[in-house]
Amino acid sequence: LMLCYFSSCSSWLPQRVPLRGSHWQSSLLELRTSLPVRAQPKKKKKVDVKKEQAQKDRMKKKLKKLEKAAPELIPIEDFIPPLKYSDSSRVRSLPALSPEESERRVLLLKKWSVFKQKQDEAEKNAIKCLVESQQEALKELRLESEELYEAAIRRDEGLFPFQRDGPSYTPPLPGYDPPEGKCIDITKVYTQ
Amino acid sequence: GALLGCHRSYRSRPTHGIGKFKYLLPKEVPKKKKEKVQMKEIDAGTEYQYGDVNIQMTSHDLCLVEHFAQYVHRLCNSLSIRVNESYAMPTRTNEVLFMEEKGSKMQLDAVLTTHQRVIQVCGLSSTFAPILLEIIQSSQPEGVHLLMKQHTEADFKSRLKSRPELEELLAEMS
């Protein structure tokens, strides 16, 4: 408020420098932290601003360059064969099979393929039965009430996410006291 | 005068095609331009369809999880469910240490690798999704953990390499 009052009487002075025109203002340094030398402050500010601008531009350029590079997928270690198997000079020689052995193998293969075919057919049958019974149930529901049918047709939000651990060979041992320990994650971190 | 000077071979003349030789050279395979890894639009699905769903199978046994993923993929193919992508997530390695019974030192027990395969399906109808889930569960092998969830951007980003320089710069800018 003081500055505005004083700037009108002496306009040739820069706005920032407070005037010591009044008796309530004890020192010039009250409103400013640095000593107000006339020409110096202006130059400092200009150079600073320019430097800052140049720095910002450099950073923007760097950012643009980095953003231009497409993101890469992390390489999968499973699909990279380990180096110790790259030596292709070693060749394995298999022993010759007797006719009984080859006969036995062919018959086994046939039995296996029949077993797998039955398994696959059973699965397809199961799917067909499930779908059929579901359709029948929905048809009956529709006859019962249209509203319930509409609600049943909609997707279930609670279905996903769905988690399940695979079955185990044996049930958990009762009263088993596991030893204390910890797991350290030593996965290699790839950076671009 | 000008017509006598031109030597163009017409299609009817026996000299047509004289000077051609590229058909004699072996066919050059066009150079494949490196495809940029870009995120495909995530389908959110409608009220009667599920959109992009990820079937994630995790296990310590590589062959088992690989074969199970192949089985699930073939199953989806046979049921005419659209499979968007079928990929592997990066392998995670863990060192398992346990405390000795008589002692305070941690002893290295084993180095376990966790493998994960993901199959992304699209367009599952609301009535068929539980049936598919049931079938996959019934053939789930031991030691394979199954997870079915909707695909998000975070899932895609977890496959990409981290870029600390870019993140640093972005943090500085803002």
Give the residue on A whose Cα is nearest the Cα of B53: A160
Q: Is the model more confident about B168 or about A104?
A: A104
Q: How far is B62 from chain A (nearest CA, A)?
A: 8
The boundaries of the domain holding residue B126 are 51-90+116-159
**Of the candidates A127, A153, A166, which has its C-beta nearest B144's C-beta?**
A166
Q: Please report whether residue B124 resides in a domain.
A: yes
- Separation between Cα atoms, residue B121 and residue A6, nearest integer Å: 75
pLDDT at A140 over 60: yes
Query: Per the CB < 8 Å rule, is A154 touching B47?
Result: yes
| A164/B59 CB distance under 8 A | no
Residue B60 within a domain: yes
Q: Which segment, A52-61, A177-186, B121-130, is predicted with the most confidence on average? A: B121-130
In this prediction, residue A9 carries a pLDDT of: 47
Q: Does A157 touch chain B (CB under 8 A)?
A: no
- B92 pLDDT band, cuts 50/70/90, is very high
Q: Which residue has the tokens 């020689």?
A: A93
Tokens, residue B132: 């598919």
Stretch A54-64: mean pLDDT? 86
Q: How far apart are CA B168 and CA B57, in angstroms?
A: 34
pTM, whole model, 2 decimals? Answer: 0.74
Distance, in Å, from the CA atom of B105 to the CA atom of A181, rounded to the nearest integer, reads: 10
Q: Is the dihedral of CA A134, A135, A136, A140 positive or negative?
A: positive
- The shortest CB-CB distance from A191 to any of B109, B133, B163 is to B163
Q: Please tell me the distance from the alpha carbon of residue B164 to that of residue B170, in angstroms, as a whole number.
A: 10
Structural domain count, chain B = 1
- Within a domain: B145: yes
pLDDT digit string (tens) for A179-190?
888 888 999 888
B5: in domain = no
Complex ipTM: 0.71
pLDDT in tens, B12-42: 888 888 889 988 998 888 887 777 777 788 8
Test A127 with B146 for CB contact under 8 angstroms: no
Residue B19 lies in a domain: no
For an interface test with B, the pick among A61, A159, A168 (most B C-beta atoms closer than 10 Å) comes out as: A159
Highest mean pLDDT among A159-168, A174-183, B103-112 belongs to A159-168
Give burial (CB, 10 Å; 0-12/13-18/19+) of B31: exposed
The CATH number of the domain holding residue B61 is 3.30.70.3400
pLDDT of residue B70: 96
Mean pLDDT over each residue of chain B, to the nearest integer: 87
Residues B98, A189: C-beta atoms closer than 8 Å? no
Q: Verify whether the Cβ–Cβ distance B59 to A66 is below 8 Å.
A: no
- Distance in angstroms (rounded) separating the CA atoms of residues B144 and A143: 42
Closest residue in A to B36 (Cα) is A70
Q: Do B146 and A163 touch (CB under 8 A)?
A: yes
Sheet holding B145-150, edge to edge: A162-164, B145-150, B53-59, B106-122, B82-99, A181-185
Q: What is the count of residue pairs from A and B with beta carbons less than 8 Å apart?
A: 156
Confidence of residue A49 (pLDDT cuts 50, 70, 90): confident
